Amino acid sequence: MSTNIDKLHDDHHHTPSGIMRWITTTNHKDIGSMYLWFSLIMFFVGGLMALVIRAELFQPGLQLVVPGFFNQMTTMHALVMIFGAVMPAFVGLANWQLPIMIGAPDMALPRLNNWSFWILPFAFTMMLSTLFFGSGGPAAGWTLYPPLSLQGGDSFPFTILSIHMLGLSSILGAINVIATILNMRAPGMTLMKMPIFVWTWLITAFLLIASMPVLAGAVTMLLTDKFFGTMFFTASGGGDPAMFQHIFWFFGHPEVYILILPAFGIVSTIIPAFSRKRLFGYDSMVYATASIALLSFIVWAHHMFTVGMPLAGEIFFMFTTMLIAIPTGVKVFNWVATMWKGSMTFETPMLFALAFIVLFTIGGFSGLMLAMVPADFQYHDTYFVVAHFHYVLVPGAVFAIMAAVYYWLPKWTGKMYNEGLGKLHFWLTTIFVNLTFFPMHFVGLAGMPRRIPDYAVQFADFNAIASVGAFGFGLSQLLFVYILFNTLKKDVTAEDKVWEGAEGLEWTLPSPPPYHSFEEAPKVD
């Protein structure tokens, strides 16, 4: 079958060469690769900002940067990592994987696909350029709470316009994902036969379409408050600063799941492959993902329990937030049940997926603690929260992305990465990620607020440990880059089905797959 496809393809597409190939491409693999490379670059840009933060926090007292610049770093680090690193990485994975997983030749809307990628470099050039303005970049936190964000200098309208562009890119990408999944599946692939990664991305795409316009509305209101005399968030004009927080988090909580649902899909793909056993409870995994997505729209105020809500509101949001533990728990239990009595091997993707389960669950536990409003009054806006969301985002989302890259890289390139180096990268990353973020639980509980450039001396020891961990983590990622380039230099040797236990249509294609993936739809029974 694979030889047939080879003959059918690669003879009738005329692509420009050089840089124009990348600028004009409408091919899902080219665009997927661009998304992934872009994400990697942003991961290092955001990482450097994190290292500025950790270097300053290594010791009490200010040694390196002034507080205003420190605030620009915390703000930019979050914006870059969320919108520049994690989201584009998942869209890149969707671009590469969705067509070859559902038996399609490409994405449904290839030109739109090109556009949604090429918005990103421009948006980030604009956003990052604000750091070189006289008044500096945005410094009010990525959440842009007014009235503080309204005090911003020249960077303010640039930040907002770039957020608009990022939102546009995400919405276009989401439309493409939905159109592709709903229209281009191979005959016989009913919804409940779709690979779980496809399911999680379908749900994520709906979350994007529902939540991104809300963010656009919120930041537009900020813009008109600042420049056109509206008073949406200004109390003296009849507005309410807390209303911004409600609108922002109505976007923000679905956004959190946009960052993690595709990760669930990746882990649910990798665990069965290396356990040599089918995913346990496929149906319940789909329903759990959908439940998490629906719940994400009625829990937003748990990000702002200290804002002074009525008691009934606090109780409502506490209960709905606690409910999220149930579908999330189901997922973890299903992963463990998938491993149970399997026949496991521990290649790099599996190691990252296993670490994901353990460390994401730890982040889930602290999330459950944060849901308890009386205790949250203590946790809120401390390093305990910083520890929590980094546990779900770094060993959560980022580990899943790393696992996905190791898992599918041989398929994408036909070249096998160096397993020993991959494992070394895994162990360094895992050790340092815990060294960085675990002590943050302690200083947070002991009373250290987040977003401060300097701290009382009782927090010094754990901060020093966290900083050492952060630099170790950052340096370990250079090894990842080395592994990638080292792999790309090799000859094409990978088999069609790279992993013994891998299931799915992508493994029926040659490695690397032909330019138009499935020109003839495969039959799925």
Partner 1 sequence: MRISNILLMVIFPTTALAEWETNMPRGVTPTSEVAYDLHMLIFYITVVIGILVFSAMLYSIIYHRKSLGHEPAKFHESTKVEIIWTVIPFIILVGMAIPATKALIMMEDTRDSEITVKVTGYQWMWQYEYLEDDVSFFSKIDNESNVARRLGSNVDVKKVKNYLRNVDNAVVLPTNTKVRILLTANDVIHAWWVPELGGKKDAIPGFVNELWVDIKEPGTYRGQCAELCGKDHGFMPIVVHAVSKPEYYKWVGIQKTNKVAKNK
Question: Which residues, 185 to 224, sit near partner 1 by CB under 8 A?
Answer: none
Complex with partner 1: residue 360 or 407, whichever CB lies closer: 360
**Cα–Cα dist 107/110, whole Å:** 6
**Subset of 335-354 contacting partner 1 (CB under 8 A):** 336-346, 354
Complex with partner 1: residue 92 or 396, whichever CB lies closer: 396
Residue 452 within binding range of partner 1, rule CB under 8 A: yes
13 part of the active site: no
- Rounded to a whole number of angstroms, the minimum distance from the CB of residue 111 to partner 1 is 40
- Rounded to a whole number of angstroms, the minimum distance from the CB of residue 261 to partner 1 is 19
**Cα–Cα dist 411/127, whole Å:** 35
- Rounded to a whole number of angstroms, the minimum distance from the CB of residue 279 to partner 1 is 7
Half-sphere exposure of 225 (CA within 13 A, CB side): 29
Residue 457 within binding range of partner 1, rule CB under 8 A: yes
Complex with partner 1: residue 14 or 341, whichever CB lies closer: 341
- Rounded to a whole number of angstroms, the minimum distance from the CB of residue 276 to partner 1 is 4
The C-alpha angle 263, 508, 343, rounded to 5 degrees, equals 60
Residue 373 within binding range of partner 1, rule CB under 8 A: yes
**Subset of 44-63 contacting partner 1 (CB under 8 A):** 60-63
Residue 68 within binding range of partner 1, rule CB under 8 A: yes
The SS3 call for residue 415 is: coil
**Cα–Cα dist 401/406, whole Å:** 9
Q: What is the dihedral of CA 305, 309, 312, 317, to 10 degrees?
A: -30
255 part of the active site: yes
**Cα–Cα dist 269/93, whole Å:** 13
**Subset of 301-330 contacting partner 1 (CB under 8 A):** 306-308, 311, 314-315, 318-319, 322-323, 325-326, 329-330
- Rounded to a whole number of angstroms, the minimum distance from the CB of residue 256 to partner 1 is 19
Q: Render the burial of 13-44: b for 16+ CB within 10 Å, e for the rest.
A: eeeeeeeeebeebbbbbbbbbbbbebbbbbbe
Annotated catalytic residue: which of 28, 29, 185, 331?
A: 331
268 part of the active site: yes
Annotated catalytic residue: which of 33, 75, 180, 328?
A: 328
Residue 102 within binding range of partner 1, rule CB under 8 A: no
Q: Which residues fall within 8 angstroms of residue 352, CB to CB, at 6 or more apart? A: 270, 399, 400, 402, 403, 406, 426
The SS3 call for residue 382 is: strand
Residue 66 within binding range of partner 1, rule CB under 8 A: yes
Half-sphere exposure of 293 (CA within 13 A, CB side): 24
Annotated catalytic residue: which of 30, 56, 225, 255?
A: 255
170 part of the active site: yes
Residue 142 within binding range of partner 1, rule CB under 8 A: no
Residue 446 within binding range of partner 1, rule CB under 8 A: yes
Looking at the DSSP bridge assignments, the partners of residue 382 are 449
Residue 280 within binding range of partner 1, rule CB under 8 A: yes
77 part of the active site: yes
Cβ proximity of 331 and 264 under 8 Å: yes
331 part of the active site: yes
Active site amino acids: 77, 106, 142, 169-170, 253, 255, 257, 268, 302-303, 328, 331, 450
